Every structure is written in structure tokens, then in C-alpha cells.
């Protein structure tokens, strides 16, 4: 069962819980920044939030409230004592998915436009697993043929071909044209609404 509570009640409850912990800084930070990780925006709970020093203590930062932020455990750990300006990059680098070195390197990457459409997901099936038995060993890709629909299909690596630079150009141009026509239609609609205002 999921318990539905509104945001205000949730924040009140968080603040109360924090008060019980005799920590008066947390409610201030929650009120100021919301229950989100300052770095990645991830929703926090009273159990998962950590207090992060914007300028690390080791680099001259203080314990004053203006130097404190709320962060998820992951971001807080990953940044270590990095300065704020280098933090997003460090967190991004450490958030990369690493796979075992004995896996083959995938030929295609996420977001790449290929012969069958655009790659929106990757999956590796190690030898000896049920997925490999059912779908074949190695990399398979989730490909979206038509951006207007949500449907994706799974394709084995050998069934995918890269596009030539000219083909990529053509695809991107087609997408630009499509969006441009949409913008024109929306602008016309907006103009119509304005006239009736
Ligand atoms: Zn985070």
C-alpha cells in the first residue's frame, strides 16, 4: 500500500522529524532548498538526506547555514572535498556505468542514430544466462524507429548498421524541419488566442 500525502504535510513531517533530532539547521535548509539534492536534484527523505558543505571544511568552508546544502548520500560521497565549481564534473564522471572488462565494448552508444532508428537503451547478455539463451549473447539495443511513438524494439548488434555522415545530416535536417513546422503551427495558435483576448 502506498500512503499518499500532500507536499505540505510531507515537509511538515520532515521538519518535525528533524526537530526531534535536535538539529535546527535542517528545517531551515529544507525550507530554503526543498527536499532535493542540491547537486543532482534527486528527491530526498529525512532518512536519506545528508548535510553537505558547499565550500568543504577542509578548504576553509564554515558550518554556518549559508555554507550548508542538502545532498543525497551518493553526491556527497562522490564529491568528497571538491570545490563547488568542480563538483558537477566529478559527480558526472563517477556516475558513469562501468562494466566488466571481459565484456565486449558496445559498437553503438546511447542516443546514436543508426540504420534502424535511434538507440534509446543498451542491454548486455552474458554467456550462460537466460537472457543470452532467449535473445542471444552480447549486446542488444533498444531502438526507437519513430520518435513520435513510444514503441521501441530490441535489436541485436549485428542487425544494426551505422549511418554515413550524409545520412545523419539528412536525418537531423528532417527533424529540424519537423520541429520548425510544429513551432509555426503553435505560433499561429498563440496568435489566435491573443486576438480573442
Ligand atoms: Zn545527489
What digits encode the pLDDT tens for the residues 34-81?
Answer: 999 999 998 998 888 999 999 999 999 999 999 999 999 999 999 999
| Distance (Å) from CA 37 to ligand 1 centroid | 5
Q: Specify which residues 141 forms β-bridges with.
A: 122, 155
- Is the domain of 126 the same as that of 76? no
pLDDT of residue 150: 75
- Cα–chain-centroid distance for residue 124? 21
Find cell 558526472 and name the residue. 92
- Domain count along the chain: 2
pLDDT of residue 6: 65
* Inside any domain, residue 26: yes
- Is the domain of 46 the same as that of 88? yes
- Is the domain of 60 the same as that of 14? yes
Q: Specify which residues 125 forms β-bridges with.
A: 138
Q: What are the cell numbers at 56? A: 568543504
| Distance (Å) from CA 153 to ligand 1 centroid | 32
Q: For the chain, which ranges sit under pLDDT 50?
A: 1-2, 22
- Is the domain of 14 the same as that of 90? yes
Range of the domain at 155: 113-159
Longest CA–CA span in the chain (Å) reads 66
| Distance (Å) from CA 30 to ligand 1 centroid | 15
| Distance (Å) from CA 171 to ligand 1 centroid | 35
Q: Give the total residue count for the chain.
A: 197
* Inside any domain, residue 136: yes
Q: What are the cell numbers at 70? A: 542538502
- Confidence (pTM): 0.48
| Distance (Å) from CA 39 to ligand 1 centroid | 5
| Distance (Å) from CA 56 to ligand 1 centroid | 16
Round to whole Å and give the CA distance between 11 and 61.
28
pLDDT of residue 22: 47
- Is the domain of 132 the same as that of 68? no
C-beta of residue 68 within 8 angstroms of C-beta of residue 25: yes
Angle between helices 25-33 and 7-20 (to 10 degrees): 160
* Inside any domain, residue 108: no
Amino acid at each position: 500500500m502506498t500512503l499518499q500525502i500532500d507536499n505540505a504535510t510531507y515537509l511538515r513531517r520532515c521538519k518535525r522529524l528533524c526537530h526531534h533530532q535536535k538539529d535546527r539547521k535542517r528545517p531551515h535548509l529544507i525550507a530554503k532548498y526543498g527536499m532535493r539534492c542540491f547537486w543532482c536534484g534527486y528527491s530526498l527523505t529525512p532518512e536519506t538526506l545528508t548535510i553537505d558543505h558547499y565550500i568543504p571544511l577542509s578548504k576553509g568552508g564554515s558550518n554556518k547555514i549559508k555554507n550548508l546544502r542538502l545532498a543525497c548520500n551518493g553526491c556527497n560521497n562522490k564529491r568528497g572535498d571538491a570545490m563547488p565549481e568542480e563538483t558537477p564534473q566529478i559527480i558526472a564522471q563517477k556516475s558513469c556505468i562501468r562494466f566488466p572488462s571481459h565484456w565486449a565494448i558496445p559498437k553503438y552508444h546511447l542516443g546514436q542514430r543508426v540504420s534502424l532508428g535511434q538507440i534509446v537503451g543498451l542491454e548486455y547478455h552474458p554467456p550462460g544466462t537466460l537472457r543470452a539463451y532467449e535473445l542471444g549473447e552480447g549486446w542488444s539495443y533498444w531502438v526507437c524507429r519513430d520518435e513520435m511513438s513510444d514503441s521501441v524494439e530490441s535489436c541485436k548488434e549485428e542487425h544494426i548498421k551505422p549511418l554515413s555522415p550524409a545520412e545523419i545530416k539528412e536525418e537531423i535536417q528532417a527533424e529540424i524541419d519537423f520541429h520548425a513546422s510544429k513551432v509555426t503551427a503553435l505560433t499561429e495558435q498563440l496568435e489566435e488566442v491573443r486576438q480573442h483576448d
